[in-house]
Structures are given as C-alpha cells and as structure tokens.
C-alpha cells in the first residue's frame, strides 16, 4: 500500500531560485504519494506532481489582509493544505478557526491535513495524549465529513527536536483516531529522518509521514519517500 508522505518546508527557502532547485532535486517516485508544501509565495512557480499549502484562511475572498484562501489555492491546483500545525496554533489559531479552515478547504476539494498533538508533553502516555487530541479532534472535525480529512499526529515536543514518539505509541494513537472519528488516514510527524521513518511506516494504521526539517535535505527526503 502506498503511503502519503508530506514535506513541510515551513519558512524555507528564502528565494524562488532555491525553491525551484530544491524541488528539482526531489524524486518523483511511484512508491508513495509525495506532497511538497513550500511557502505560499512559491506555490505558483514550483512544479511537482502534488503540491500542498502550509495553511489557508476560512473565507474565500474579501477584506482579509495577508490571508490566502482555499479558493485561490484551488486555482493553482493545490491538492492538500496543512491546518492546525502547532506553529500556527502557537501563533494564535484555535480549534474553531481550524474547523472553519477545514470546512472551506473541503468545499474547494482540497484535502485538509489536520495536525493534532499541540500541548502534549514528553510523557507519551496514551491516556494523556488521547485526552488532549480528543479535544482538538472533537472541535476541529465538528460537523465535517471526517473520512475526507487526513489527520497528522504530531506531538509538539517531537517537532524539530530530534526526539520522536515511538512507533508503538503512534500506532495506538492512530487506531484511536480512526475508531473514534472515522478518519481514514493518519500520519505521524515529529523529527522523522531516514533512520527512523521505516519504524512508523511499518505500522498498520500509520498511513504516512509529515516531514519538516528532513524534507529540506534532498538526500534524506529521497530516502524517506522511497521506503
């Protein structure tokens, strides 16, 4: 079964030239479905089979300075959008905003990737994690068709830290998300690299990966997407 592997470039690189170069170095593998999420400003210029955006707004158009809407993204053939990433939640996004963003992404036929795991601690206690993400999922998915939403379990302490959750724990959390909400695809994110990626991909209920730092290093990302 093909897995879904998403590269989140965050606020990198700084020039279009570098963005185009980086994209050209990422293989177009058939082994997995690969999605690149460059910054919004590069989305119309980089060419890759599947592109995603790192965020979107909950209104289609109007007086919303600085925002980018799912309708605009759809016009650039963007297929996926990250929503509720912990770095957006740190910047003020709450679960109601996340819900509204997902709703509009779905209305525009863009697959929302709902990131949960903000506020988790380093304990990896299954009960603690399910309590926290339950809240994020109850509100984030309220009134929506959950089967059309991809969920990325990203314990906040694992993002960019070099520490990861264990594959066993991640499998239990993925199963919980699927059973409780009817979500069909759950990804893991948090310090994924070529050495630890396989452990997650081998889990039955982990359908792929959300990769930050390692997606900026073509030799690392190419290894991960070809596993």
Strand order in the sheet with 4-8: 33-37, 4-8, 208-211, 185-189, 150-153, 111-116, 80-83, 52-53
Cβ proximity to ligand PEP, 109 vs 121, nearer residue: 121
Interaction between residue 189 and ligand PEP (CB under 6 A): yes
Count of alpha carbons within 13 angstroms of residue 149, beta-carbon side: 32
Q: Which stretch binds ligand PEP (CB under 6 A): 66-74, 105-113, 128-136, 212-220?
A: 212-220
Interaction of residue 7 with ligand PEP, rule CB under 6 A = no
Q: Kindly give the residue spans of alpha helices, DSSP state H, lying in the chain.
A: 16-24, 70-75, 86-90, 95-107, 126-140, 167-181, 197-201, 218-225
- Binding ligand PEP (rule: CB under 6 A), the pick from 39, 160, 167, 218 is 160
Q: Which is nearer to ligand PEP, 8 or 33 (CB)?
A: 8
Q: Regarding beta strands 208-211 and 185-189, do their DSSP bridges make them parallel or antiparallel, or are they unpaired?
A: parallel
- Which of 18, 154, 171, 184 is an active site residue? 154
Determine the Cα–Cα distance for residues 96 and 108; give it in Å rounded to an integer.
19
CB of 210 to ligand PEP, least distance (A): 5
Applying CB under 6 A, among 154, 187, 201, 207 the residue interacting with ligand PEP is 154
Selected binder of ligand PEP within 116, 201, 211, 225 (CB under 6 A): 211
In the block, residue with structure tokens 């799912």: 70
Q: Of 181, 212, 224, 225, which lies in the binding site for ligand PEP, with binding defined by CB under 6 A?
A: 212
Under rule CB under 6 A, residue 171 binds ligand PEP: no
Q: Phi/psi of residue 188, each to 5°?
A: -110, 140
Question: Is residue 192 classed exposed, middle or buried when 0-12, 13-18 and 19+ CB atoms within 10 A define those classes?
Answer: buried
Q: How far is the CB of 211 from ligand PEP (least distance, A)?
A: 5
* Residue 191 binds to ligand PEP (criterion: CB under 6 A): yes
- Whole-number minimum distance, CB 204 to ligand PEP, in Å? 21
**Tokens linked to 30:** 């058939």
Considering the complex, what minimum distance in angstroms separates the CB of residue 188 from ligand PEP? 9
Q: Residues with catalytic annotation? A: 85, 154
**Contacts with ligand PEP, residue ranges (CB under 6 A):** 8, 10, 154, 159-160, 189-192, 210-214
């Amino acid at each position: 079964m093909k897995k879904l592997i998403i590269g989140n470039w965050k606020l990198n690189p700084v020039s279009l030239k570098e963005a185009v170069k980086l994209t050209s170095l990422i293989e177009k593998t058939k082994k997995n479905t690969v999605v690149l999420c460059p910054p919004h400003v590069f989305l119309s210029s980089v060419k890759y089979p599947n592109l995603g955006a790192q965020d979107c707004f909950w209104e289609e158009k109007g007086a919303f300075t600085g925002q980018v809407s799912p309708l605009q993204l759809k016009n650039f053939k963007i297929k996926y959008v990250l929503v509720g990433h912990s770095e957006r939640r740190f910047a003020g996004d709450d679960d109601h905003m996340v819900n509204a963003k997902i709703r509009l992404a779905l209305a525009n036929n863009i697959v929302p990737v709902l990131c949960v795991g903000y506020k988790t601690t380093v304990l990896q206690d299954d009960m603690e994690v399910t309590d926290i993400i339950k809240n994020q999922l109850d509100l984030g998915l309220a009134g929506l068709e959950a089967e059309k939403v991809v969920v990325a379990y990203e314990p906040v302490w694992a993002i960019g830290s070099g520490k990861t959750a264990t594959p066993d724990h991640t499998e239990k959390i993925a199963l919980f998300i699927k059973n409780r909400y009817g979500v069909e695809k759950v990804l893991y994110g948090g310090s994924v690299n070529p050495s630890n990626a396989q452990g997650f991909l081998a889990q039955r209920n982990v359908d792929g990966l959300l990769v930050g730092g390692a997606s900026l290093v073509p030799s690392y990302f190419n290894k991960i997407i070809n596993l």
